[in-house]
Amino acid sequence: MPSLKDLRNRIRSVRSTQKITSAMKVVAASRLRRAVEQVEAARPYGQRMERVLASLAGRMAGLPGAPPLLVGTGKEETHLLVVATSDRGLAGGFNASILRETRRRIRELLPAGRTVMVLTIGRKGRDGLRRDYGRLIHDSLTEVGRRQVSFDEARDIAQRILVLYQAGRFDVATIIYNRFRSAMTQIVTAQQLIPFAATSGEEVDPAVGGAIYEFEPSEEEILSELLPKNLAVQIYTALLENAASEQGARMTAMDNATRNAGEMIDRLTLNYNRTRQAAITKELIEIISGAEAL
């Protein structure tokens, strides 16, 4: 039986934890709103870029002069996994789900005789993979999107990947991140970045996609300018979705934590009152029985 003093201390410490979790929840909620706004603001560019690329890539895919970013290196030997996580924890299953998917992919690729290279974004990704697959980690970037994800950061990461690709270090690149559905649900998504997989034109308006375009300069030149840009856009989108997912997951997790702390406080308070009452009763009994003995 814990003493009254112990109980009082417990209650106080749980209450201060609850204060922290509920503050974190509020912060996550406001960041989430901003992150979602940013995701939505970025959407038009991605959609239109896809539309332009769809009308270009379709006709280039079969040609011999097509850029390697579009058609690949013709091999599938080395895979680059770009693992986008967060720098901070306390976000529920956010990082764990990404890491689980990453491990699953690595376990699938390695026995098949493929080489795997990992580029982690975010401290949690690096820490989570270092123990099991440390030698696969090519490099890890941290502090990405600390305040807010910017397109410049996405462009830098894209540039990084391009440098590796041009040096022939890998054949296929995939980014793993959490797609934001709602504050409650985030979906782990693995999206192939290189070679560029054109979404099979389902979203393309037939009147637009089917038109015969004139190109200035040539199709090849436009494509070779657009594909790297599109890589940056895809990474940007992934980072934004990830940022929103992180805040959403954190909000939900902190909401749960706050509620659990509340329940715990109730239980402890009940316990405390009971113990106090028991102590009072005990003292009374002692006094009464002492008086009777006289």
Partner 1 sequence: MAVGFELVTPERLLVSKVVVMVVVPGTEGNFGVLEGHAPFISTIRPGMIDIYGENQSELSERIFVIGGVAQVTEGHCTVLADEAVSPDTLDRGSIETDLRIVEGNLPSLREQVARAADTDRERLLIELHRLEHEQTVLQAKLQAVGEITR
Site string for partner 1, 198-237 (x = CB under 8 A): ---------xx--xxxxxxx---xx--xx--x--xx--x-
Within a 10 A sphere around the Cβ of 129, how many other Cβ atoms? 22
SS3 194: strand
- CA torsion sign for 126, 127, 129, 134 is positive
Verify binding: residue 63, partner 1, rule CB under 8 A.
Answer: no
Verify binding: residue 60, partner 1, rule CB under 8 A.
Answer: no
Q: Phi/psi at 111 (nearest 5 deg)? A: -65, -25
Site string for partner 1, 11-30 (x = CB under 8 A): --------------------
| Rg (the chain; Cα; Å) | 28
Window contacting partner 1 (CB under 8 A); options: 17-25, 152-160, 190-198, 261-269: 152-160
Q: Which is nearer to partner 1, 46 or 93 (CB)?
A: 46
Q: Which is nearer to partner 1, 59 or 267 (CB)?
A: 59
Q: Which is nearer to partner 1, 81 or 257 (CB)?
A: 81
Answer yes or no: are the C-beta atoms of 94 and 186 closer than 8 Å: yes
CA proximity to 179, closest of 236, 233, 94, 238: 238
Site string for partner 1, 96-135 (x = CB under 8 A): ----------------------------------------
Answer yes or no: are the C-beta atoms of 90 and 126 closer than 8 Å: no
How far apart, in whole angstroms, are the C-alpha atoms of residue 285 and residue 289? 6
How far apart, in whole angstroms, are the C-alpha atoms of residue 54 and residue 44? 15
Q: Which is nearer to partner 1, 10 or 155 (CB)?
A: 155
234 CB contacts (<8 Å, ≥6 apart)?
Answer: 46, 175, 191, 193
Verify binding: residue 78, partner 1, rule CB under 8 A.
Answer: no
- Candidates 58, 155, 191, 262; binder of partner 1 (CB under 8 A) is 155
**Amino acid (one-letter) located at 177:** Y
What secondary structure letter does DSSP report for 1?
Answer: -
CB of 193 to partner 1, least distance (A): 16
Q: Which is nearer to partner 1, 143 or 225 (CB)?
A: 225
Footprint of partner 1 (CB under 8 A): 38, 41-42, 44-45, 48-49, 51-52, 55-56, 138-139, 151-152, 154-156, 159-160, 163-164, 207-208, 211-217, 221-222, 225-226, 229, 232-233, 236
